Amino acid sequence: MTRYIVQRLLLLPFLLLVYSFVIFAIIHAPPGDFLTSYVATLSATGTSITADQINALRHEYGLDQPFIIQYFYWVRDMLHGDFGLSLEYQRPNADLIREQLGMTVTLAAFAFVLTWLIAVPVGIYSATHQRSVLDHVFTVINYVGVATPNFMLALILMWIAFAYFGISITGLFSPAYADAPWSIARVVDLLEHIWLPAVVLGIAGTARLTRIMRANLLDELNKPYVVTARAKGMREWRLVLRYPVRLALNPLVSTIGWYLPQLFSGSLIVATVMNLPNIGPLLLRALVNQDMYLAGGILLIYSFLTIVGTLLSDIALVMMDPRIRMET
Amino acid sequence: MLTKRALALSACWLLTLAQFALAQPGPAAAQGSKYHEAPALADEVKAGKLPPVEQRLPEQPLVVPVTEKIGQYGGVWRRAFLGPADANNYVRVVYDGLFRFSPNGADIEPKLALGATSSPDFKVWTILLRKGSRWSDGAPFTADDIVFWYKDVLLNKDLTPSVPTWIRNADGTAAKVEKVDDTTVRFTYDRPATLFLQEIANQDGPDQSYAMFLPAHYLKQFHPAYTPMADLDRQAQAVSFKSWTQLFAAKATPTSNPDRPTMAAWMPVTRVSDPVFTLRRNPYYIGVDSAGNQLPYIDEVRFTYFADQQALNLAAIAGDFDMQARHIQMTNYPVLKDQEKNGKYRVLIWPTFGGSDAVVAFNLTYMADPVLGKLLATKEFRIALSYAINRDEIKESVFLGLGEARQAVPAPWHPYFPGKEWAQKYTEFKPDEANKMLDALGLDKRNAQGVRLMANGQPLTVEINVVPAFGAWPDVGQLVARDWQAVGVNAVVQIRERALGFSMRASNQLQTEVWNEDTTAFPFTGGSKLDPRNAPGQTLTLGPLFYKWLTTNGKEGVEPTEPLKRIMQLIDTARSVGHDGQVAAAQELFRIWADNVFEIGTVGLTPMVQGVVVVNTKMHNVPTTIGNDWPLRTPGNARTEQFFFTQ
């Protein structure tokens, strides 16, 4: 086991190097560079900037150098712990990411907890009460939940909130608290706003998880050991929760590692549509504007978290399920 | 209204020389103790944190005329912005210049400066500053702040690699700038600089560039002429900058550094990279109203960050902003109008300042298909395609019935307007005439699908490139394509992402494209789209290879045609003649422009570009009509410091 983990960890730097190259190459692939996008943005708002200014900036940012040289500088700086400068924000990328991190993780954690709190009990209920009225109701809701893209749901909820309640539910704070220092009142304000994005972000996951939980549990409930336990007079709820549910959770645990990058990613489209201040819109903007060091930095952190998350899933599975052995 | 505007316009140049005289003390200025200030500032004065208002104001403050009435202090002006690339949102709100354009865009009025005078030959310009004016930190604003910009920023090769056109001599060197005394700066050119005032009315630090006046007392600590390089390197590295120039740029830009003192009515207290970009009243602002109240009336301006323009529009419809035109899409006009009845806001229309809001521009140097390229460069071909377009339909279905069918020439109330016959030239819907003209060009043979065949036997296919910068353009492209197909030209609309479209234009890959012509009021200054010498990567252009020819002194590219050479000549002439000469040059330029249909104008004078304005019903002194254009820094030219809220 230890050996396996060490092996995986040793592979990590190599994988990251490969990823970094791929990421940089892809960000570089569209025609033009940050300044082309910048000029286009300016002219879309009725401004124009001179060719001299642009050329000076291009030289200043090193965008006139060959791809491989730019890549080399990027990697070299990152090895020194320097994520570079965001071309658009003119501030260190590390600062920008750090500023968004707290809110991103808070929101994702809310969605995550919501998902599990709903999905597991509902899944258990549906499986143990198969084909009951409530099971059918949950099933329909689940299918709708899985089938509705969450940004669509966000738009619908925003429209309902505006059309019927006259409020716009963008952002995570009321205007009065948006840039206020942290206080009890601000936390309350955050809680008032965060539930809706959390529901939107969590709903598809909840639906999917409920279906998996239900299916897994149904498989287990008919197995002989359950029948035996029941025959021996074990109380039904105690039985279900103690044995089949534990086994049914396995597939869920194996995906728990995937949440790590998701926690960090801040769900790009929903966050953009709902104007949530997290990493999603930051990445989207960086990609659209070809702010390549910022986009590269964020994507590289995703890659890192994906690798680590998968590893953590594997470890968690081994601990949860004694049947699994590591081949070394 | 229009005649009044026209009068004001023609008078503007006579006023230029008299401006110094006009800017002499306002009514309240002479009696120092008559000034009033915002309650919050009065409290600070009482607490001894701030000097009294008469000591904060210059001897001769700027007396700002109010649009409707004298206002009252207080309130927060809620706006929205789209992130750091949207820093010009701030530039437009504060319009922090030595001079500024008047609300109708016809006049140039002194703002931070007291006035300017020129020598009779326009080679020497003298700018007078207001004695006793101060930066937002209380330090005096003097001629040294302009000399610092000149000596240490403009002439510093690291900060300014090439001298900007507006301050260039005929030989390409920088004009001379010198301090005469604390409040007087002299600019000396080796050529007549008749556009001087228009140019400096825009040297207010747009596009995160350097304004022509900088807080020397603050910025010297970031400049190697005053501070050891080792210190600067250390500071630069601490924030991931690679050089001192990046550090200096960041420190000198008000939107990225709240510590930098400013002269504007509101000073930033957060950064444009923050979720809320906040401006607070500048206690040292140089302006008062005619009753002696120090401006601005409004306490704070708050820009809330939106990652997405649609979300911003939804918030605007919900009434979350107090006064905003930027990023409001014209397509939402009916919805906004409908919501007006809720009483939260009123909706104003500020049409664009001339030109055309959707043109189909031709690439006159298209090379990938020489046969097609030759057609695109043929005037009769372009005229035929202009006649083929049904502009009424475009106006009704795309522009909500607003505006008028016109070529890309200035608005009728502008002195540069070449006349109605030129504005409407070739804009009639005459498909028969179009067919006749195309037949006459040897395009009379058609294939089975009815598409005309070119000289080489290939079907005539023209691509229309559309970058959806303004919501409605793809629809314009589709309607034009359908009209062209009706006369046997197989038009194909290609919708492209901005950066891709721009780089394809620069590399001469586009055939035709939809964009707008919004520079007709300023053909001689800024990045005019009418001047082939402006880079194709930056603005709409008629021929990327013309640009190449001009920048390589004729070694590469294609030599511009006679009409284009004449246009460049006219632009050069205008830079060195007085007002009447400029009007004559501009009118001739636009006659050439309309006659050659280098770009086919469709519909203009609509509120497409930041012209649908949402205004809180409690906000006042916002003009109902105004010149609306980027060089005017709209709404900055509405004199934002006199906007106010009623309770």
Chain A: closest CA distance from residue B153 (Å): 14
- Interface residue B343 vs chain A (CB under 8 A): no
Residue A64 confidence (pLDDT) above 60: yes
Residue B307 confidence (pLDDT) above 90: no
- Interface residue B240 vs chain A (CB under 8 A): yes
Complete edge-to-edge strand list for the sheet that includes strand B323-324: B323-324, B612-616, B345-349
Residue B31 confidence (pLDDT) above 50: no
**Helices in A129-183 by DSSP H: which ranges?**
133-147, 150-165
Confidence of residue B6 (pLDDT cuts 50, 70, 90): very low
* pLDDT of res. B4: 41
Instruction: Please give the residue that has the higher pLDDT: either B329 or A204.
Output: B329
Residue B481 confidence (pLDDT) above 70: yes
* pLDDT of res. B12: 40
Per-residue tokens: B335: 């919805």
The predicted-structure confidence for B370-393, as pLDDT tens digits, reads as follows 999 999 999 999 999 999 999 999
Looking from the CA of B486 toward its CB, the CA atoms found within 13 Å total 19
- Largest alpha-carbon pair distance within chain A? 86
The predicted-structure confidence for B544-568, as pLDDT tens digits, reads as follows 999 999 989 999 999 999 999 999 9
Token pair 């006749």 is found at: B436
> What residue type is A157 in one-letter code?
L
Chain A: closest CA distance from residue B499 (Å): 5
Residue B26 confidence (pLDDT) above 80: no
Window from A272-281, B278-287, B348-357, B550-559 with minimum mean pLDDT: A272-281
Instruction: Please give the residue that has the higher pLDDT: either A56 or A141.
Output: A141
Q: Give how far the C-alpha of residue B281 lies from the chain's centroid of Cα atoms, to the nearest Å.
A: 25
Q: Give how far the C-alpha of residue B535 lies from the chain's centroid of Cα atoms, to the nearest Å.
A: 17
Whole-number Cα distances in Å, A66 to A25, A72, A73: 12, 10, 11
In this complex, which of A42, A83, A91 lies closest to B207 when CB atoms are compared? A42
Window from A182-196, B33-47, B69-83, B85-99 with minimum mean pLDDT: A182-196
With CA atoms as reference, the chain B residue closest to A171 would be: B306
- Interface residue B318 vs chain A (CB under 8 A): yes
Q: Tell me the average pLDDT of chain B.
A: 91
Instruction: Please give the residue that has the higher pLDDT: either B450 or A255.
Output: B450
* pLDDT of res. B15: 39
Nearest to A248 by CA among A280, A226, A271: A226
Q: Do B499 and A31 touch (CB under 8 A)?
A: yes
Confidence of residue B98 (pLDDT cuts 50, 70, 90): very high
Residues of B in contact with A91 (CB under 8 A): 239-240, 256, 273
Q: Do B304 and A93 touch (CB under 8 A)?
A: no
* pLDDT of res. A237: 87
Per-residue tokens: B581: 């000469």
> Strand pairing partners for B397?
none
With CA atoms as reference, the chain B residue closest to A85 would be: B240
Instruction: Give SS3 for B412.
Output: coil
Q: Do A94 and B500 touch (CB under 8 A)?
A: no
In this complex, which of B84, B160, B519 lies closest to A89 when CB atoms are compared? B84
Q: Tell me the average pLDDT of chain A.
A: 85
In this complex, which of B242, B256, B306 lies closest to A275 when CB atoms are compared? B306
> What residue type is B190 in one-letter code?
D
Nearest to B424 by CA among B438, B408, B402, B440: B408
* pLDDT of res. A326: 62
In this complex, which of B85, B503, B609 lies closest to A46 when CB atoms are compared? B609
Q: Do B498 and A178 touch (CB under 8 A)?
A: no
Supply the DSSP string of B144-181, one letter for each residue.
HHHHHIIIIIIS-TTT-SS--GGGB-TTSSBPEEEEEE
Name the pTM for this structure: 0.86
Confidence of residue A168 (pLDDT cuts 50, 70, 90): low
* pLDDT of res. B7: 38
* pLDDT of res. B23: 42
Chain A: closest CA distance from residue B187 (Å): 22
The predicted-structure confidence for B426-440, as pLDDT tens digits, reads as follows 999 999 999 999 999
B327: left (phi over 0), alpha (psi -120 to 50) or beta: left
Residue B21 confidence (pLDDT) above 70: no
Residues of B in contact with A96 (CB under 8 A): 273
- Interface residue B335 vs chain A (CB under 8 A): no
Confidence of residue B16 (pLDDT cuts 50, 70, 90): very low
Q: What percent of chain B has pLDDT over 90?
A: 77
Q: Do A166 and B318 touch (CB under 8 A)?
A: yes
Confidence of residue B611 (pLDDT cuts 50, 70, 90): very high
Q: Do B85 and A59 touch (CB under 8 A)?
A: no
What is the rounded average pLDDT of the residues A41-53? Answer: 70
In this complex, which of B275, B326, B503 lies closest to A32 when CB atoms are compared? B503
- Interface residue B609 vs chain A (CB under 8 A): yes
Residue B10 confidence (pLDDT) above 50: no
Residue B185 confidence (pLDDT) above 90: yes
Whole-number Cα distances in Å, A137 to A140, A141, A210, A213: 5, 6, 13, 16
Best residue of B156, B199, B207, B251 to probe chain A, by most A CBs closer than 10 Å: B207
